[in-house]
């Protein structure tokens, strides 16, 4: 994560959820002033990161609408946690046969 637009998306989804609304892609794009393709890209990343979730539905008048919702998440960010994450990220070499790295 870590891009301003990404944060704005999360913020908007959060606000709407507070008000009891769900938002579909086009509506969200309009509110944030983003193009749909761009928004799709960001939503994809957010979904991959597990921060949001989208589901395609049919509205009353038969139109396809993709609604996105925030998934609850919270993480404490401090030096210790970062050190652990980095250590965990560095070790994965379970079945590679002692071969050198990528270079």
Q: Going residue by residue from 43 to 72, which x/- string records binding to a copy of itself, judged by CB under 8 A?
A: ---------------------------x-x
* Least separation in angstroms between CB 9 and a copy of itself: 9
Among 19, 48, 64, 88, binds DNA (CB under 7 A): 64
- Closest approach of a copy of itself to the CB of residue 45, in Å: 12
85 lies in the binding site for a copy of itself (CB under 8 A): yes
| Beta carbons within 8 Å of 12's beta carbon, 6+ residues apart | 23, 28, 31, 32
Question: What is the C-alpha to C-alpha distance for residues 62 and 69, in angstroms, rounded to an integer?
Answer: 21
Do 5 and 44 meet the contact criterion of CB atoms below 8 Å apart?
no
Rounded to an integer, what distance in angstroms lies between the CA atom of residue 23 and that of residue 15?
11
Q: Residue 12 Cβ, how far from a copy of itself at the closest point, in Å?
A: 8
């Amino acid at each position: 994560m870590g891009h301003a637009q990404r944060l704005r998306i999360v913020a908007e989804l959060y606000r709407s959820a507070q008000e009891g609304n769900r938002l579909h892609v086009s509506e969200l794009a309009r509110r944030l002033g983003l193009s749909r393709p761009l928004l799709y890209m960001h939503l994809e990343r957010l979904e991959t990161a597990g921060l949001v979730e989208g589901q395609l539905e049919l509205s009353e008048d038969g139109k396809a609408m993709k609604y996105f919702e925030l998934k609850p998440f919270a993480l404490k960010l401090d030096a210790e946690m970062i050190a652990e994450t980095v250590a965990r990220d560095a070790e994965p070499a379970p079945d590679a046969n002692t071969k050198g790295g990528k270079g």
